[in-house]
Amino acid sequence: MEKIMVRGGKPLFGEVTVGGSKNAALPVLFAGILTRDTCVFANLPRVSDVLCTLKILRCLGARVFFYSNGDVAVDYRDMHAGTPPLELTGGIRGSVYLLGALLGRFGRASLAGAGGCNFGARPIDQHLRGFSLLGAEQTMEQGTLTLTAKSLTGCTIELAMPSVGATANLMMAATAAAGETVIGNAAAEPHVAALSDFLTAAGADVRGIGTGTVRVFGGTPLHGCRYTVIPDMIEAGTYLAAVMAAGGAVTVRDVLPLHLGAVLETLADMGAELKVTATTVRLTAPAAYDCAHLVTGPYPAFPTDLHPQFAALFCVGGRARGAGHVRETVWKERFRYTEELEKMGACVLRDAGAATFLPAPLHPATVEATDLRGGAALLIAALATAGETVITGASAVGRGYEKLQKKCRALGADVRVE
């Protein structure tokens, strides 16, 4: 997917079904390494980040099988602790999960780069400090990080902030450590809970998810299992924001509304009419809506991965009222997308780690998706804008949105992908 062409200005109506969570799929796919067995994954999204993960696993010796019912089986038995090529690991941020999984299984892990979206430095110092406390030593040579450990021993690790990546990585390694590992100030995001569910299904003893203190009682061999990936809360939130921006009424299916608490509360405050069941959210957009003041943060606060999409909402002149404000506390440099919105006529006042958005008439333009969620923000702005907008760099959007053209067209949107 290189370009997305959008002829916007039309309200959206109908139903859209959410796929499996990319953010949950990546850690559980890598965690399967610890089982030394075959695992079957249901509801695995076919987005480029997931497909790249499967390529990484294959190059380390795993065998991957796709079934006609949509399931994917991964046979991890013959894997080895090699160093995957940079062209694979450098493409996705989730490749960092190789460290905890390979270290736990082989006592050795090497990683040449960890990619993902380009919106500022995203250090893994908390990961490395935790691995060191568990007993691992690290070396860096020509851009390749290598961790080694003769054995891992349970310990107490207090995170400086509730990092999803560090929490998940250390949980993986801790399953192979002798004794109890306590991870303090742990992240509580749904995809961390999903990893815990997978590890538990594979035989691990993980406790305290969602409390801020995760306890892993390690040293027990894991085994293969079947796991169903949770719905993608970010995809769901993206479609809800799109309906709000363009107008109309849409039902989002196969979602867990509990994961969207802060998002649904924000939409309601902005004037959306919401009808929520156990697995669906129906949003009817008002003729005009109020902008909001968002502060992103660790779950259950407003998710950083939906910040750009909601910022786009605040730019839509004729529908948005007042000024919108976003303060980003997770990835403070996550505002590159605003320069592309300005090409469409958006009025953005940037500050360090924050921005104010003033509604203004938008016009079609050729813009670039600089990252995954920033690209989704441009799509939302384009859907709300009459005329044809062309989004280049669309491969970034393909990293997290499955069947994008089909789903948008099912809602009546004129969207073409090339």
- What amino acid positions are annotated as catalytic residues? 117
Q: What 3-state class would DSSP assign to 187?
A: coil
Give me the numbers of helices (H) and strands (E) for the chain, helices first please: 14, 25
Phi-psi region for residue 308, left (φ > 0), alpha (ψ -120 to 50) or beta? alpha
H helix runs in 314-368, sequence order: 337-343
| Cα–Cα dist 141/240, whole Å | 45
Which residues have a Cβ under 8 Å from the Cβ of 40 and sit 6 or more positions away? Answer: 71, 72, 73, 224, 225, 226, 227
For the chain, what's the residue count? 418
The CA–CA distances, whole Å, from 335 to 2, 13, 412 equal 22, 30, 30
Torsion angle in degrees (nearest 10) through CA of 353, 256, 14, 309: 0
Question: Whose CA is closest to 99, among 85, 113, 88?
Answer: 113
Say how many C-beta atoms besides its own lie within 10 A of residue 106's C-beta. 16
DSSP code, position 84:
-
Cα angle 166, 186, 74; round to 5: 50
Do the beta carbons of residue 379 and residue 1 sit within 8 Å? no
